[in-house]
Every structure is written in C-alpha cells, then in structure tokens.
Amino acid sequence: MPLKKTESATDYEEIDRWDDGVGWIAHPDETMLRASHALATDAGVWVTDPVDAAGIDDLIAEFGDVAGVVVLLNRHYRDANDIARRHDVPVYVPAWFDRVPELEAELHRFDARLPGTDYKLLKVADSFGWEEAALYDDERGTLVVSESVGNAPYFTTPGERIGVHPMMRLTPPSELRGLRPERVVLGHGRGVLDDAARALDDAIRGARRSTPKLYAENLRMLLR
C-alpha cells in the first residue's frame, strides 16, 4: 500500500455522512488515508482540506452551493486551489498561519469563527513550523480535526478508534481536551460518529501511555 498517491483520483470512497455534512477519501488504498469534508451551514457548504476526485462536485452539491474552501493545517493545501477556482470561491486560512503558498484563488484569513457559521476556530498547534486549527460547532456537535488526531493506521494502536499523531503523542493537543462532540471527523482516516466524546478523550488521555507500542508497530513507516 503506497503511503500517498500523487495521481488524480478517478473515484472516491464516501465516509462520515451525517445530516449536515459528508466526507470522502480520494485514494482509499493509500496509507495516509487523506480525508476531506463538506460542511453544510446557513452560509453554504464549506469544503475542508480537500483532495479532489472525479465526481466529487456532485457529492458536495447534495448539501448546497460551495461558500469557501478551508485549509486547517499548513501542510494541507492539497487541492484547495483547484476546487476553490472551480467553484469561484476563496480559500480560507486561519489568521495566524505564516506558511501560505501562492494561490491562484482568492485568499481570505479568518479568526474566531468560520464566517457566517457557528463553527468556532480552535488553535491546536502553532510552533516549530506546525500550524494547525480545528473547527467545532458545539450546537451541531461536529468537531473537524485536520492532523493532531486521526485514524489512519499509523495514528492508532489496537483498541483506539482515533489516536494522537505520532509526533504529538508526548504533548497531546490541550485545545481538544474537555470537548464533548457528537462526531469527530478527521483529515486522515474515517471519523467517529458515535460516542465520539469518549473516543476523543481516550485518545488524548492514553496518548503517552501507548506511545512505545505505536512507535514499535510503525517504525518503518515513521522513518519514511
């Protein structure tokens, strides 16, 4: 199984469908399991950390017109530019991001909340070149986490439904502690749509304890 595929996706796997959104994995046979989501709001549909795939516009259109494309990690620009240009909308990034590439699409910075929505912007990481945000709508119960937790194979040990990123295991993201989401959707892997608050709490509380096992099981991949 390749770590990451670089060719254009000719299909996708749908994941994480709920009343106000849906996710997809453009290359379900890659190790990284790069996942993307469409979030339906009163302001329109917001597409997060997207990897493009043939037919994906039809999936997004089920939830309305695209209002913007959101990048939540400074390494997750992925196909944000292409999708934003296709829908004639801006790319939105958190205000504190320093590492922003040149884009052909219009770029907007935002803080506090995703414009016109109830999604709060959480600062998950901002050090050593790692700039990451999360989106949390506590009324609708949805938490969108880009990188700090996930469930691609190298994030988890047996028994974990989601796990903390290998590079954050010794310092789990404090911004995610105490949240009570109904669902957690991820930038890597399939989300947790039931008993999500417990899965998130277990991931953060158990991160340090399970670090040696995670590293032992994934040493070869981590060295890559």
Q: What is the pLDDT of residues 208-219, one digit of tens each?
A: 887 788 777 776
Least Cα distance to 143 among 204, 209, 86 occurs for 204
Least Cα distance to 14 among 60, 70, 80 occurs for 60
CA distance 163 to 151: 6
Whole-prediction pTM: 0.93
pLDDT, residue 50, reads 97
Residue 6 has pLDDT above 70, yes or no: no
Class of the domain covering 13-223: alpha beta
- Asked if residues 78 and 50 have their Cβ atoms less than 8 Å apart, the reply is yes
CA distance 163 to 169: 9
Residue 174 has pLDDT above 90, yes or no: yes
CA distance 46 to 176: 21
